[in-house]
Amino acid sequence: MARTALGLGVRDLAEMAKVSPDTIARLERGDALKERTVQDIRKVLETAGVVFIPENGGGAGVRLASPKTS
């Protein structure tokens, strides 16, 4: 969901996170990955403006950060 919200393709995110496109596909399928790999991908998404929303009774989710005004 986060990747799509940013308009990124699998290959785009893989390149940004320095992982293979197959790694992104495995993450999106829910396959287990090394924690470090997940954190690297998460950091790229957060830097791009994704905010991860913790489980709050309605399920975990994502949203895009509000644009910052100067």
Whole-model pTM: value is 0.79
Mean pLDDT score, 40-53:
91
Mean pLDDT score, 34-58:
88
Task: Domain of residue 55: give its range.
Answer: 2-64
Residue 42 lies inside a defined structural domain of this protein? yes
CATH number at residue 29: 1.10.260.40
Q: Cβ atoms within 10 A of the Cβ of 61, count?
A: 13
Mean pLDDT score, 51-66:
73
When divided into structural domains, the chain yields a total of 1
Exposure class string for 3-13: b at 16+ Cβ within 10 A, else e: beebebebeeb
Residue 69 lies inside a defined structural domain of this protein? no
- CB neighbour class for 35 (10 Å; exposed up to 12, middle 13-18, buried from 19): exposed
Residue 16 lies inside a defined structural domain of this protein? yes
- For residue 59, the model assigns a pLDDT of 66
